[in-house]
Chain A
């Protein structure tokens, strides 16, 4: 026990002395959590529409005004021909072309029927889909307005009308922050944990201090604990900073139990540091460790469900995400913060984390033995 205390003293001294590590631990959560949610926003806004109005009637004007009255569309450019609008798409200055045919108003009044043409730049599939959806809805709305004007009220009411009014549970205002900030905290914490733990152990290998340690009576488990405990404490600190930022910057108050979140986190960190330790046993230099950690972090992030929905992944993606500790913590964070889930609800994730923790740590310790 005494030995462990001295190792911890040494480790904390080194951590507190390393300015770059401290900055990344303290500033990263604050900067990332205040800036990232604003920039990495999945809400589709600012869709640029190029309008080709061949009609120049009061109806076509009305339709265009209606479109730009919406917050989703901006910066309309007006061109006289479809090919000119096509150029704008090529130059990435427009996302959607709206072509209103000649005689739009006349046909609408006379034939009660007219077509308009939409061309969408589908390089960004999400933006294309949502953008044309919005635009379609606006045109439909416009259509209704006209029908109300022209069609006799009594006849109009005959039309079957099922109006859908959705209620958004757990996130009634569909706040992007409420969804994203807890996920970002998980992503941040995971990256920091895996990188710093694996790098630190490999650093001792690279500089050669591990040789000096190995010829002393220090036991291996002392050494490993001496490495993992400081990073466990750091993980807790980063999480706390993240929660404070989300409370005071975004006003997010977890509905569920905060002590339970910390309880889950304390186990999650053991699992995470096990993964870091595992990486360190497979690398001899810090450069190798960074490459390995980067590889795994990228996969963890992609399949974690923080940025994309796990439900829409193919089966193998779902299986992979089960083996990524990050996806479990991300799910638990959102469940507890947004839904106020209880321990009973998060039990499957907790078991998965414990299981992964046992696997990572046992593997790492076995491999650590083998290599030294």
Chain B
């Protein structure tokens, strides 16, 4: 059975003027970690809010844990955990009080499901009498995750859990998610960070409310048509302009400390010719090498065809 199904879910705001989700269709298998990848404003949060029964869809249907998201919302609320993008626990209650409160309203106790949250809770336990509002960003995320898990949900919804969290905490957080997945919890997670996408079993790329592609992260990367090269030189700013005006260039984007470049036509002479051209117009410390295209490259490719 699929843990989550969406069938042509549409959501609009302002009486139909703003289209937030446009006929989204995908399924998440039980025990799968599924990632929604897309930039800010792509419609990720709207999908989350529809699935967690906070919003009614304007069209289409969907199920969570086998229950209909419209008619059986009460059953869904009993068996999901939701961690919104914005920290939304009671800031004036302590860590322990927050956790206890969410345990009791699901008619359970911290002790009953302690096994599930132990790994995470142990890290914030030293601060359990501290008020939630006084925790650091990473700690808040851990507490929010604990609160979302305390009733042993079947499906866990994490809306941008790592936005605004430092790099070390992000890695830690994903480690925790992996362990939860091993316990059989289905996880739907959204993130604007492409590097986190590889950690999911499958990912859906989403932009402007439309799902662009659904596949495993490896397959998504393999789907990239043609070869990709990373170009580096001393004067990166000039390099971008020169590469974009180079007649054989199909696309060129700044990517970290290098330029990701594709040619209109892939052939073996490309690199040599480009090297010559760049040398001639005064670039030094040139470095051109073929690389495996990443998810972000693919994302840019399919979301901005006009640039090609």
Contacts and interface: CB of A to CB of B under 8 A. Distances in A.
B88 A6 contact: no
A208 B86 contact: yes
Interface stretch (A168-176, A214-222, A283-291): A214-222
Contact of A212 (B88, B97, B104): B88
A17 B97 CA distance: 13
Contact of B92 (A7, A18, A211): A18
Interface in B86-136: 86-93, 97, 101-102, 104-107
Given A6-B101, A209-B89, A215-B77, 17 more contacts: A3-B105, A14-B92, A14-B93, A17-B92, A18-B92, A208-B84, A208-B86, A208-B88, A209-B88, A211-B54, A212-B84, A212-B88, A214-B54, A215-B52, A216-B105, A217-B74, A217-B78
A155 interface: no
A207 interface: yes
Interface residues of A, number: 19
A216 B80 CA distance: 8
Nearest to A10: B101
Contact of B88 (A13, A17, A211, A217): A211
6 contacts: A6-B101, A10-B90, A215-B82, A216-B77, A216-B105, A218-B105
Interface of A: 2-3, 6-7, 10, 13-14, 17-18, 207-209, 211-212, 214-218
Contacts of B106: 216-217
A217 B76 CA distance: 9
Contacts of B77: 215-217
A65 B227 CA distance: 110
Q: Which 8 A-B pairs have the closest CB atoms?
A: A208-B88, A6-B104, A215-B82, A212-B88, A208-B86, A215-B52, A209-B88, A217-B77
B53 interface: yes
Interface in B53-98: 53-54, 74, 77-78, 80, 82, 84, 86-93, 97
Contacts of A6: 101, 104-105
Contacts of A208: 84, 86-88
B107 A2 contact: yes
Contacts of A218: 105
A207 B118 CA distance: 27
Interface residues of B, number: 25
A211 B87 CA distance: 11
Nearest to A222: B105
Nearest to A17: B92
B196 to A, nearest CB: 23
A56 B77 CA distance: 92
Given A13-B97, A211-B54, A211-B84, A216 B102 contact: yes
Contact of A13 (B86, B87, B93): B93
Contacts of B147: 212
Contacts of A207: 88, 91
Contacts of B92: 14, 17-18
B270 to A, nearest CB: 51
B54 A14 contact: no
Contacts of A10: 90, 93, 97, 101
Contacts of A209: 88-90
A218 B107 CA distance: 11
A189 B218 CA distance: 65
A146 to B, nearest CB: 75
A316 to B, nearest CB: 36
B181 to A, nearest CB: 21
Contacts of A215: 52-54, 77, 80, 82
A210 B80 CA distance: 16
Nearest to A214: B54
Contacts of B88: 207-209, 211-212
Q: Which of A3, A6, A212 has the most chain B CB atoms inside 10 A of its CB?
A: A212
Nearest to A6: B104
A207 B91 CA distance: 9
Contacts of A214: 53-54
Nearest to A219: B74
A169 to B, nearest CB: 52
Contacts of B80: 215
A214 B105 CA distance: 11
Contact of A217 (B54, B91, B97, B105): B105
Interface in B177-214: none
A216 B98 CA distance: 14
Contacts of B93: 10, 13-14
Contacts of A216: 77, 102, 105-106
Contacts of A17: 92
Contacts of B89: 209, 212
A15 to B, nearest CB: 10
Contacts of A3: 105
B142 to A, nearest CB: 16
A262 B91 CA distance: 35
A212 B101 contact: no
A18 B136 CA distance: 21
